[in-house]
Structure 1
């Protein structure tokens, strides 16, 4: 990507001023919600609502036209219909605005007439060398700048994970799931029809973005698979890239074309190519978020050998089923580790000492669970540890003990806390601040562990 395009994208994600075109006083209309999203997210720059007949809205003065704006504008968010959008892009170009977000649909996804209209939109953008997000998009988000150009007002935790989505609905699903998981978001983009900015452009930008530590992608299809894979592979040499690819059936091709004008392509071939280039692949929104969470919070392991400590065997069995399918190794404990565990368990424990270690009643109290977790993590044949513990009215979670193990050994730990979101939230926030991701299901914990193991293998192979 040319450096000037990267510079324009940086202005889009970090604008000093944003014009919102098509605001309205009706909260049920998109134009109102576009403005509300910026105000509610706490945008740190200047906001310029534009409407020919309004004086003020949400405590801000409203300007009659672009000619009245008193300050510089780096980004215009256009919330009018598809026909008026073309005219507004032309006006933005004449005013020297470097980038626009075009919310409206009704372009190439609608057939020949829509495609002709989109060509006019593209021509206007290129005439003025403007970056055009969309059309048919929910826009972009940068939590660090308080920027939300979608018409869904929300406040998101700030973090290191940035997301690219070819679907606004799936993109919102990912954001809400991440928020439920206490996972901080950095940037988000709904690519829409990709009239002038391809998915690969955003990917290249995020690869160079210092605030982004992990990149997650929801992909329907692309017109330039070669460039996408090449760009993603280059990005993955710097930071993890996790891709959730839709399209496991031929019926998806038709649905994708009528959604954003993209052919979905062969799911099997995409997966094979991604694997060949060291990219991480998720099979659901939940797996995408679980993988991004582990990669954003925990350090990478030195190998792919997992040790498991639990006081209830069932979740560990489910976890093993998932990680083994993803080629994570369950190693045997070394003799010295077995002796340490025996000493921690006391005389004649009714426990089979093996990996996974099901300590049963010996692991129900946090202090004893912590001693056993320390023994498992201390095994030279264990590279990362999953600790499984169930919410209980009387027994506290072993969070302090796990964090001490994490700090002493330097190895990545994941916690599977079987409980409710509300029941584990305080412990989750405490552990995740200390570098231990927390999950509520065995499957998600397994997906997080597998992502750490596989990206660790990639990085070791490059060094």
Structure 2
């Protein structure tokens, strides 16, 4: 993208005012919910609902057409049927509007007529230099600007992870998983049919976005795979890109073609090329979020040597199993660490000291747990450490001890409390504010570990 394009994208995500064209008084309609989302999200700019006959919606004065709005509109949200959408986009272009979100479906994914209408959208965008998101999209969000320009009126935790999704449903699934995991969001982009703005465009925009530290992408398929791969590779030199790519079967290709009008393409080909460019691949929504969480909170490890500490062996074993084949080494404990552990627990131990460090019942007390974690973090054989525990009604969680040990070491520390989302909510907030990602399953912990190590190696190879 050119510098001028980037400036236009910045205005698209930071509008001084927003027009909702197709706003209605019915909460069942998309136009109403766009308006509700802007209000619920706390947007501070001017909002201009547009409807030919209504006078007021949700306490906001309504304008009969976009021509009647007294200001030049920065962002137009178009919630009309596909034919009216094209007409309104033309009108927006003539009035000097430079940013629009087209929510309607029914374009190239439905056949010849839809393709013709979509071609007309491209012509309008080129003629008037109009940046158009979609069509067939959930919308966009910029939490830094309190902008929720989607038709889901939700309030979300702010942070440094930005998301791009071809699917509204999976995009919303990722958003919800992020909220469950305490992962703060910066921007969300529903790419939809990508008629004017491609996923590569959004990646290039987010590469220079100061509020975005990590980019997560849900990808069905693209026509210009080479441009996407090159863009993702360039962005990866600046910040991590994690992609959840579907397309393991021909059935998926057929489904994506009628969903957003794109072919999923060869999964293996995408996987191999992305790996060459340092882009991380996830196999599910949960893995995407786990990877983004670790990358958004942790500094990168100096290498791939992992230490594990637990007082219950099973979770550490499952985590190791999840890391099999991911080229992460599990080194032996240094003699100094063995001496430190024996100084804490005693010489005559009923356990064998090795990595993973499993102390059994000797390590359940939070004070002892903290000392053992500190000893493990100081082991010169480890580049990062993962810890595991099972919260108990009568045992205090070692949250403060983990933070203290982490502050002294500075090495990446990931923790797993085997629990429910609600069960670890308070501890998660405290730990993650301190820079320690907290997971509730060993599988998710393994995904976080793998993301840190693989991105660190990728940056090293590309630099």
How high is the TM-score relative to the length of structure 1? Answer: 0.99
Contact 1:16–1:72 (Cα < 8 Å) also in 2: no
The reply on whether 1:122 has 2:122 as its aligned counterpart is yes
- What are the superposed Cα offsets for residues 49-75 of structure 1, whole Å, 9 maximum, x if unpaired? 111111111121111111221233211
The reply on whether 1:132 has 2:129 as its aligned counterpart is no
CA distance in 2, matches of 1:121, 1:197: 11
CA distance in 1, matches of 2:70, 2:380: 64
Superposition RMSD in Å:
1.0
5 Å-filtered alignment, 1:365-380, equals: 365-380=365-380
3-state secondary structure, aligned to 1:330: coil
Structure 1 residue 256 displacement after superposition: 0.9
Structure 1 residue 195 displacement after superposition: 1.0
Paired positions, count: 463
5 Å-filtered alignment, 1:64-213, equals: 64-213=64-213
The residue aligned with 1:315 is 315
CA distance in 2, matches of 1:144, 1:2: 23
CA distance in 2, matches of 1:294, 1:181: 11
3-state secondary structure, aligned to 1:309: strand
The reply on whether 1:415 has 2:412 as its aligned counterpart is no
The residue aligned with 2:302 is 302
CA distance in 2, matches of 1:83, 1:461: 49
Structure 1 residue 317 displacement after superposition: 0.3
- What are the superposed Cα offsets for residues 78-114 of structure 1, whole Å, 9 maximum, x if unpaired? 0011111011101111110001100000100001111
Contact 1:37–1:151 (Cα < 8 Å) also in 2: yes
3-state secondary structure, aligned to 1:329: coil
CA distance in 2, matches of 1:105, 1:5: 26
3-state secondary structure, aligned to 1:385: strand
The residue aligned with 2:358 is 358
The reply on whether 1:254 has 2:234 as its aligned counterpart is no
The residue aligned with 2:14 is 14
Contact 2:72–2:96 (Cα < 8 Å) also in 1: no
The residue aligned with 2:385 is 385
CA distance in 2, matches of 1:391, 1:58: 46
The residue aligned with 2:45 is 45
Structure 1 residue 462 displacement after superposition: 4.5
Structure 1 residue 328 displacement after superposition: 1.2
Structure 1 residue 442 displacement after superposition: 0.4
- What are the superposed Cα offsets for residues 389-422 of structure 1, whole Å, 9 maximum, x if unpaired? 1110011111111111111011010010111211
How high is the TM-score relative to the length of structure 2? Answer: 0.99
- What are the superposed Cα offsets for residues 204-241 of structure 1, whole Å, 9 maximum, x if unpaired? 00011111000111111111111111100000000001
- What are the superposed Cα offsets for residues 307-358 of structure 1, whole Å, 9 maximum, x if unpaired? 1111110010000011233221111111111111111111422121010011
CA distance in 2, matches of 1:154, 1:72: 28
The residue aligned with 1:241 is 241
The residue aligned with 1:451 is 451
The reply on whether 1:267 has 2:239 as its aligned counterpart is no
The residue aligned with 1:284 is 284
Contact 1:134–1:193 (Cα < 8 Å) also in 2: yes
Structure 1 residue 458 displacement after superposition: 2.2
3-state secondary structure, aligned to 1:325: coil
Gaps of 5+ in 2: none
The residue aligned with 1:327 is 327
The reply on whether 1:427 has 2:427 as its aligned counterpart is yes
CA distance in 2, matches of 1:369, 1:331: 21
- Please identify, of 248-257 and 117-126, the stretch whose mean Cα deviation from structure 2 is larger: 117-126
Gaps of 5+ in 1: none
The residue aligned with 2:293 is 293
